[in-house]
Amino acid sequence: MYRIRIPVSFKKALTISLTGLFFWSAASVGLASDWVEEGVSDIAPNSGQRQPIERAPVSTPGFNSGPESGSDQGSDSDSDSPFDTQPQNQSQNYQSGEDSSTTSTSSQSGNTHDTSKPLQATISTVKTDYRRPSRFPGLDGYANNVMQNAPMIPLPQKDEAVNPPAYKSWLSATHAGITENLNRESIIEVKGKWDDSGHVLHSFGIPCKRVSPNELGDTNLDNVYVVVVNCAGDLPTEAILALRRYVGMGGYLLTTDWALDGVLKKTFPGYVTWNGGYTESGVVDAVIVDPDPRLFKNCPPTAFWKLDKKSQTVKVNRPGEVRVLARSRLLSRSDPSQFGILAFTLDFRQGRVLHLVGHFDNNSDRAFNNALPDPAPGIQISLRQALAANFIVEAIKNGRSR
């Protein structure tokens, strides 16, 4: 038997080669390859590698997102508090987008509705509310944006003579035939020391019956469409109780100036209060911040507002049930609440209240004349008077439907 003698140098070389091959194979098992087979898209990363976090798309709230059904158009997304008085810098954009007509909406239950198909009509017994949905109407981000972007129109420098035909013409064009079949008992005016709403009502051609504060408690209000309480609103307890009962049953109440503290605070406690501030006599800017289409029918969005000396400024305690309709940037500078509220409505049970900061009459400094210090652009009469007239018309329509 022959033995093959292998040189020592060859043995060493073979040993080194085999050892290197072993370690190369072991290392390749734990390494991820950069090469990807064609047609393969999903390669699982090593457990030691950090996987990227997939973030959900963030939508920016505000006006640019567009209004949604049943949502607050800018109020809740801009601010959850009515005390945020800083205006938003976003521009109003109510467009839904290019694909809005073919998009679908899904609920949590999995139901999907194709918005490109027409909705099925149903009969509802709920009374239609045309007002803009909001938790803080007139004090929310939408209102602040409107205030910021409204033009500052130069204030009128002198009074203008506005005769009754101008009032009747506006009312006829806005609400044709509304005064037909009205009688004096349809509208009750409560005499006041500082305001004279009856003067303007007569200019509109709206009949009314004037009663004293002491007579109001004994007045039958069952068939009355609206009660107008003039400033200062010093009413006895019997009259306060009668008004609360009347509004609760669906009546409409219009109050002016000091009736804020004299009537509303007592009749509907907890809703609004006088914040201790007074106004100076003069004309300020007026901006509609809660555009109710019925109360501001045939009204410009920006106008003027006559304030009387020591008109009481407003603090809203229950936003939502209290809707601020109009505000003033000039008044907000001296208003302790810094909102510059000019007018608001108050919902109480089945009825509704409108309050004006200032008076309904033309000019308290010159009683029983036709001088008007704050005629609104395009309508001749003032914004505050047009607002009050629209409210009275709504009261008449509501009363006739009862």
pLDDT in tens, 73-83: 333 333 333 33
pLDDT confidence bin for 10, thresholds 50/70/90 = low
Residues 295 and 390: beta-carbon distance below 8 Å: yes
**pLDDT at residue 61, rounded to an integer:** 29
**Cα–Cα distance for residue pair 274/259, rounded to 1 Å:** 10
**pLDDT at residue 399, rounded to an integer:** 79
Which residue is associated with the tokens 């002491």?
A: 214
Residue 135 has pLDDT above 60, yes or no: yes
Q: Of 5-9, 261-265, 283-287, 289-293, where does mean pLDDT reach its minimum?
A: 5-9
Residue 372 has pLDDT above 90, yes or no: yes
This prediction has a pTM of: 0.68
Taking residues 277-295, what's their average pLDDT? 96
Q: Could you tell me which CATH number the domain at 141-401 has?
A: 3.40.50.880
- The pLDDT > 70 percentage for the chain reads 66
Q: Of 74-88, 165-179, 213-227, 382-396, where does mean pLDDT reach its minimum?
A: 74-88
Taking residues 213-236, what's their average pLDDT? 95
Q: Of 30-39, 210-219, 355-364, 367-376, where does mean pLDDT reach its minimum?
A: 30-39
**pLDDT at residue 134, rounded to an integer:** 85
**Cα–Cα distance for residue pair 312/33, rounded to 1 Å:** 80
Strands (E), 237-292: 252-256, 272-278, 282-288
**What SS3 state is found at 290?**
coil
Residue 251 has pLDDT above 90, yes or no: yes
Residue 155 has pLDDT above 80, yes or no: yes
pLDDT confidence bin for 153, thresholds 50/70/90 = very high
In the chain, what are the domain boundaries?
A: 141-401
Q: Of 62-76, 204-218, 277-291, where does mean pLDDT reach its minimum?
A: 62-76
- The alpha carbon of residue 8 and the mean position of all alpha carbons in its chain are separated, in whole angstroms, by 98
**Cα–Cα distance for residue pair 8/6, rounded to 1 Å:** 6
**pLDDT at residue 162, rounded to an integer:** 94
**pLDDT at residue 239, rounded to an integer:** 97
Q: What confidence tens digit (pLDDT) does each residue in 317-346 have?
A: 999 999 999 999 999 999 999 999 999 999
CA angle, residues 293, 298, 300, in degrees to nearest 5: 90
Question: Residue type for 177, please?
Answer: G
**pLDDT at residue 52, rounded to an integer:** 40
Taking residues 251-255, what's their average pLDDT? 98
Q: What confidence tens digit (pLDDT) does each residue in 96-129 have?
A: 233 333 333 333 334 443 434 443 333 333 345 5
**How would you classify residue 385: left for phi > 0, otherwise alpha for psi between -120 and 50, otherwise beta?**
alpha
Taking residues 355-378, what's their average pLDDT? 85
Averaged pLDDT of the chain: 76
Q: Name which residue leads in pLDDT, 316 or 41.
A: 316
Residue 36 has pLDDT above 50, yes or no: no
Taking residues 248-267, what's their average pLDDT? 96
Based on C-alpha coordinates, what's the Rg of the chain? 35
pLDDT confidence bin for 133, thresholds 50/70/90 = confident
**pLDDT at residue 208, rounded to an integer:** 96
Residue 367 has pLDDT above 70, yes or no: no
SS3 content of the chain, % helix, strand, coil (to 5): 25, 20, 55
Residue 43 has pLDDT above 60, yes or no: no
In the structure encoding, which two tokens stand for residue 364, read together? 């308290």
**Helix extents (H) in 30-186:** 75-78, 141-149, 164-174
Residue 37 φ/ψ, nearest 5 degrees: -65, 145
